[in-house]
A and B are shown apart, each in its own frame.
Chain A
Amino acid sequence: MKHTISILVENHAGVLSRVSGLFSRRGFNIDSLAVGVTADPSVSRITIVADGDEYMVEQLEKQLNKLIDTIKVRSLAPDELLSRELQLIKIAATPAQRSEILTIVEIMGAKIIDISPSTMTIEISDTTAHLARFEELIRPYGIKEIVRTGVIAIQKGADTIAVKK
């Protein structure tokens, strides 16, 4: 089962290596990892998606909490979160194929951000499942390159994950 875990950490050098080192050291399988600074510049937020059972998630949370730089760890249930991942895709596209591709892009809520005589570059930001569907639709044209940011997630409604003052 996939688990989305949000981690608030001190925003200073070496923290990311401590967190990522822990995954390999303890044998956790990580699907994605995204990190960025929060509203409080002294705090970074890491979002990880991990694959495993309940035991693994409990251990992962406990081991993350044990790191001195970790301020808060919160596992987000699938029904309480909104998640997004940004993907940039460069596909092969002859001028004749452009309008066809544009239709798919518009229907799927993506955007063309660059074009060349032989390629088009598309930006799409959505859930991982939606990104996968889009990739299937675009695959027949010939995918040249894919770059993705990893999943970030936030809670639905008024709930927040913040540092206690």
Chain B
Amino acid sequence: MIKAAEAMVKCLENEGIKVVFGYPGAAICPFYDELSHSDIKHILVRHEANGGHSASGYARITGKPAVCIATSGPGATNLLTAIATAYMDSVPIICITGQVCSDQIGCDVFQEADITGAAEPFVKYSYLVKNAQDIPRVFKEAFHIAGTGRPGPVLIDVPMDVQQTMIDFEYPETVSLRSYKPSAKGNALQIKKVAEAIKAAEKPLICAGGGIFLAHAEKEIKEFAELTGIPVVSTMMGLSVFPTDHPLYFGMIGMHGVKTANHAVGDCDLMILIGARVGDRAVKSPSWLEENTKIIHIDIDPAEIGKNIHADIPLVGDCKCVLAQLNEIMEKQNTEPWLEHLREYRSNIPEKPAEKVFTDPKGFLKKLSEAAPDNTVAVADVGQNQIWACNNFKVKNGRFLTSGGMGTMGYSVPCAVGAKLADPSAEVIVICGDGSFQMQMMELATICQYNVPVKIVLMRNEYLGMVRELQTRMYADNRIAVSLGGDPDFVALARAYGISAERVENNEQADEAIKRFLSSDKPYLLEVMVNETESTL
């Protein structure tokens, strides 16, 4: 017999967990006590939400569920934003929370919160463990549910007395869930219909979403596009599916997407949506598309098909399996006239005059990405910085991570910490604004404590730029609550933590600063001075 708390740690070890992100408190102390005897590395974040975001970054790079931990009550409620963020982007994280003792649940005792109730709308599944003997099964199921089908966060809430109960421990080898059996392979008849529709199309277009990464289908989608010669656009979550300069890739679609990609959507006669849920920011008018284009929708979640857009040919399945099935029967198509048509859009984009006094954020990000290593992981925050990064950071063979669905400010730095720990060989670069940075700057301490060499580009325009732009356009330039007048000297702030930092005042200083930024093997912050009038697009 062992303590359930020890069993929880053993469950994590059995799942191959090497790193966890968390913040302790009284109700989770039994677990922490046992964690100290394990080889699992614990990263003490400086806010529970950041623990969730770090787990998210870790999970997105490894492709496997990652773990974050919080205590009961406020610790757990602080996690909520991270859980919701992971849910919207289908990221597999396991959230372990301590809960007050079983006999006190419902009595409103100190640091009690009904976290399984509160998190219900944002979790793929949740457990409130009442019987300690259920721990091994619950953990096994939680990892299975989080990581399979359409991935998502799973919450395990464990009362303190349950953690201290003695149980027999044996980690189950299999999961038995009669009600959860996600389908992987695509229906053969539907596959045939898809193939026929593609062969009949003159102007087919692939729209790749974040589902490609979740299914680990990066190789298959490249093969599919290159085999057939079909051009590719991506959603924000699908960014980095293709290198930016791939001849078949035409950029990100949507409200903040590039013109070429949106023209491609408008002109195509067949839209092949793969692992994309047609969110409102990606496709503003699904009904227009329905009327003007034939639509194939491939997704592992049947509930996504027909939710935001009607599909002429729905195909439920795991992208990796479905694309492999398609690659067996597809062949080269004559898409050259269609590609030529799209290339014309690309060449007709006029260059805007460059910023003189401040640093041009778009040009800066282009330069930075060109100089960055091949496997760079770019992590964009939310706001103007996100769109600047989406459209100007040239991805090579690395990844582009951001909070696409929820649009959670303060995601980038903790996500980058997780990403860097998941793949220490990759250069991990944060792109954030002065607004979003101040929602997460406590994580500089985490970066220092564990020496996680993430690089941070902080775009300083002393405004919540995207809201400011919205107020300018839609509210007669009535700028309210968007000035960040209290900004500190971020270079001095970083240095106070012992992090190297410098300011980039203008374009002339950019090249040298980028050189120093990228050649450092330690955490590094660049405070990039941006004109407050700089536009998002």
Contact = CB atoms under 8 A, between A and B. Distances in A.
Interface of A: 9-10, 13-14, 17-18, 21, 25, 55, 58-59, 62-63, 65-66, 68-71, 163
A49 to B, nearest CB: 21
A140 B537 CA distance: 68
Contacts of B60: none
8 contacts: A14-B128, A21-B121, A58-B306, A62-B302, A62-B303, A65-B302, A65-B303, A68-B145
A129 B312 CA distance: 38
Interface stretch (B173-181, B423-431, B499-507): B173-181
Main secondary structure of the interface of B (DSSP, over half): mixed
Contact of A59 (B121, B124, B179, B303): B303
B353 interface: no
B180 A17 contact: no
B301 interface: yes
B178 A18 contact: no
B27 to A, nearest CB: 20
A9 to B, nearest CB: 8
A71 B177 CA distance: 9
B179 A68 contact: yes
A59 B128 contact: no
B164 interface: no
Contact of B179 (A13, A55, A62, A69): A69
Size bin of chain B's contact surface? 10 to 19
A70 B178 CA distance: 9
A68 B178 contact: no
Nearest to A24: B121
B529 to A, nearest CB: 43
- In this complex, the member of A13, A62, A65, A71 whose beta carbon has the largest number of chain B beta carbons within 10 angstroms is A62
Contacts of B116: 14
Contacts of B511: none
Nearest to B305: A62
B117 A17 contact: yes
Contacts of A14: 116, 126, 128
Interface string B94-132: 000000000000000000000011001100111010000
Contacts of A10: 179
Contacts of B246: none
User: Which 10 pairs across A and B sit closest by C-beta, in order of nearness?
Assistant: A62-B303, A71-B179, A68-B125, A66-B303, A68-B180, A25-B121, A63-B303, A62-B302, A21-B120, A70-B179
A18 B120 contact: yes
B41 interface: no
Interface of B: 116-117, 120-121, 124-126, 128, 145, 177-180, 301-303, 306-307
Nearest to B145: A68
A59 B303 CA distance: 7
A58 B302 CA distance: 10
Nearest to A62: B303
Given A59-B307, A65-B303, A66-B303, A17 B177 contact: no
A163 B303 contact: no
B301 A66 contact: yes
Nearest to A59: B307
Contact of B177 (A21, A25, A68): A68
A55 B303 CA distance: 12
Contacts of A66: 301-303
A63 B121 CA distance: 12
Contacts of A59: 303, 306-307
B176 to A, nearest CB: 12
B307 A71 contact: no
Contacts of A63: 303
A55 B180 CA distance: 24
Given A10-B179, A13-B128, A14-B128, 11 more contacts: A25-B121, A59-B303, A59-B306, A62-B303, A62-B307, A65-B302, A66-B301, A68-B179, A68-B180, A70-B179, A163-B178
A14 B118 CA distance: 12
B120 A17 contact: yes
Nearest to A8: B179
Give the one of B125, B177, B178, B179 with max A CB within 10 A: B179
Nearest to B125: A68
Contacts of A62: 302-303, 306-307
A65 B179 CA distance: 9
Contacts of A69: 179
A104 B307 CA distance: 48
Nearest to B310: A55
Contacts of B120: 17-18, 21
A19 B302 CA distance: 18
A145 to B, nearest CB: 30
Nearest to A22: B121
B148 to A, nearest CB: 11
A20 to B, nearest CB: 10
A89 to B, nearest CB: 35
> Taking each of A9, A13, A66, A163, which has the highest tally of chain B beta carbons within 10 Å of its own beta carbon?
A66
A45 B52 CA distance: 36
Contacts of B301: 66
Nearest to A60: B303
A65 to B, nearest CB: 7
A61 to B, nearest CB: 9
Contacts of B306: 55, 58-59, 62
Contacts of B124: 68
A155 to B, nearest CB: 21
A68 B120 CA distance: 12
A9 B178 CA distance: 10
B73 to A, nearest CB: 20
A71 B126 CA distance: 17
Given A18-B120, A21-B120, A25-B121, A71 B303 contact: no
